[in-house]
């Protein structure tokens, strides 16, 4: 009996949906726009965080040592640097490794390779590649290096500070997020009002049927059920249509996004595919929250049962 009641309420909900098809379409479109703005906002945050992370991964300090440095001296220096609380990792690059890396980097330049072959000794020094735990800790590491006993062994340092670039990316992402939140809230309010008025009109349109249901002893759940199913239908259709539009949009945007992150292990479409159901569930939660909440308010206020 309960199952039959559910089937009947769903049937009535579908009838209500088709009777007011244009109003239903407007409701779905408003919910759709809200979900699109929320999705775009999330994508901007993702890309901003990924851009910052990508820049941070490229930041390091290259410390080059004089050719007279012995293996024991370099090993001692490496151990001291690894003991710094700010240091995440220290990679030791020997002179042979440095030469090999240089040849690989200039494999297409025959003139440079020929010049190397004419040299009797390896001209490249041994070096350390130092990575900090946090971006703002590189200055502290440099200061420590300047005060160490092995500083006379250091030939040069190479540190490119990307803090300005990271701050700029962070500021742009923050501003876009603020604008996106404002627009999303605006559309969320509009969606709430549209669904509210849609339910109010639906209740008014079916007031005679509701009166008959009361007279024949229908339960409150059975009377309210079709309107709740209808709001659920709005949310589901809006979420499905949003994913149907956003996924092709992601495919179109992917080459440009991947080109921006060229050289980094990030694939925009792969991320969407890997997190497809999580994204869909978040959209469902947003659309269901807006649709069901506004419907419950309308039903409580106008459907006296």
DSSP code of 265?
S
Give the pLDDT of residue 17. 76
Closest by CA position to 305, among listed 235, 228, 232, 207: 207
Give the pLDDT of residue 6. 73
DSSP code of 264?
S
Q: Give the tens place of pLDDT for each residue, 170-200.
A: 677 777 777 777 777 887 888 888 888 887 8
Of the chain, the percentage scoring pLDDT greater than 90 comes to: 0
Helix ranges (H only) for 206-275 are 207-215, 220-260, 268-274
CA 261 to the chain's CA centroid: 14
Two tokens at 228?
Answer: 């709740």
pTM of the prediction? 0.62
Q: What's the chain's Rg over C-alpha atoms?
A: 32
H or E element at residue 203: helix 163-205
H or E element at residue 93: strand 87-93
CA distance 189 to 192: 5
Give the pLDDT of residue 167. 67
Closest by CA position to 84, among listed 149, 145, 128, 18: 145
Give the pLDDT of residue 213. 67
Closest by CA position to 42, among listed 289, 304, 279: 279
Q: Give the tens place of pLDDT for each residue, 243-270.
A: 888 888 878 877 777 676 665 666 777 7
Domain map (residue ranges) of the chain: 2-55+165-302, 60-160
Q: How confident is the model at residue 272 (pLDDT cuts 50, 70, 90)?
A: confident
Least confident range from 7-16, 130-139, 268-277: namely 7-16
HSE value, Cβ hemisphere, 13 Å, CA-based, for 47: 23
Q: What is the largest CA-CA distance in the chain?
A: 105
Q: How confident is the model at residue 11 (pLDDT cuts 50, 70, 90)?
A: confident
Whether the CB-CB separation of 58 and 162 falls below 8 Å is answered with yes
Q: How confident is the model at residue 216 (pLDDT cuts 50, 70, 90)?
A: low
More confident residue, 13 or 156: 156
CA distance 108 to 103: 9
Two tokens at 44?
Answer: 């901007």
Give the pLDDT of residue 217. 65
CATH code for residues 60-160: 3.30.70.3040
Give the pLDDT of residue 266. 64
CA 268 to the chain's CA centroid: 10
CA distance 49 to 39: 15
- At residue 90, φ and ψ (nearest 5 deg) are -130, 120
Q: Give the tens place of pLDDT for each residue, 92-140.
A: 988 888 878 777 777 777 777 677 676 667 778 888 888 888 777 888 8
Give the pLDDT of residue 172. 73
**Average pLDDT of the chain to the nearest whole number:** 78
Least confident range from 2-11, 54-63, 149-158: namely 2-11
156, exposed or middle or buried, with CB in 10 Å at 0-12, 13-18, 19+?
exposed
């Amino acid at each position: 009996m309960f199952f039959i009641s559910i089937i009947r309420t769903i049937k009535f909900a579908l009838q209500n949906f088709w009777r007011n098809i244009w109003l239903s379409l407007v409701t779905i479109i408003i919910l759709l726009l809200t979900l699109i703005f929320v999705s775009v906002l999330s994508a901007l945050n993702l890309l901003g965080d990924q851009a910052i992370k990508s820049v941070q991964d490229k930041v390091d300090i290259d410390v080059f040592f004089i050719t007279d440095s012995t293996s024991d001296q370099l090993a001692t220096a490496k151990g001291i640097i690894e003991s710094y609380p700010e240091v995440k990792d220290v990679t030791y690059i020997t002179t042979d490794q440095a030469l090999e890396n240089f040849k690989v980097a200039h494999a297409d330049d025959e003139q440079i390779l020929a010049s190397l072959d004419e040299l009797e000794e390896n001209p490249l020094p041994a070096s350390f590649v130092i990575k900090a735990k946090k971006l703002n800790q590189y200055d502290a590491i440099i200061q420590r290096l300047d005060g160490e006993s092995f500083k006379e062994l250091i030939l040069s340092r190479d540190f490119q500070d990307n803090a300005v670039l990271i701050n700029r990316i962070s500021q742009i992402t923050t501003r876009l997020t603020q604008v996106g939140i404002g627009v999303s809230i605006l559309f969320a309010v509009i969606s709430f009002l549209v669904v509210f008025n849609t339910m109010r009109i639906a209740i008014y349109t079916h007031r005679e049927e509701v009166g008959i249901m009361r007279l024949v002893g229908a339960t409150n759940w059975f009377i309210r059920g079709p309107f709740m199913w209808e709001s659920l239908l709005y949310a589901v259709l809006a979420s499905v249509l949003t994913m149907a539009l956003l996924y092709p949009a992601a495919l179109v945007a992917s080459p440009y996004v991947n080109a921006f992150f060229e050289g980094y292990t990030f694939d925009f479409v792969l991320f969407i595919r890997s997190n497809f159901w999580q994204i869909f569930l978040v959209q469902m939660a947003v659309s269901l929250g807006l649709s069901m909440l506004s419907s419950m308010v309308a039903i409580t206020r106008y459907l006296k049962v």
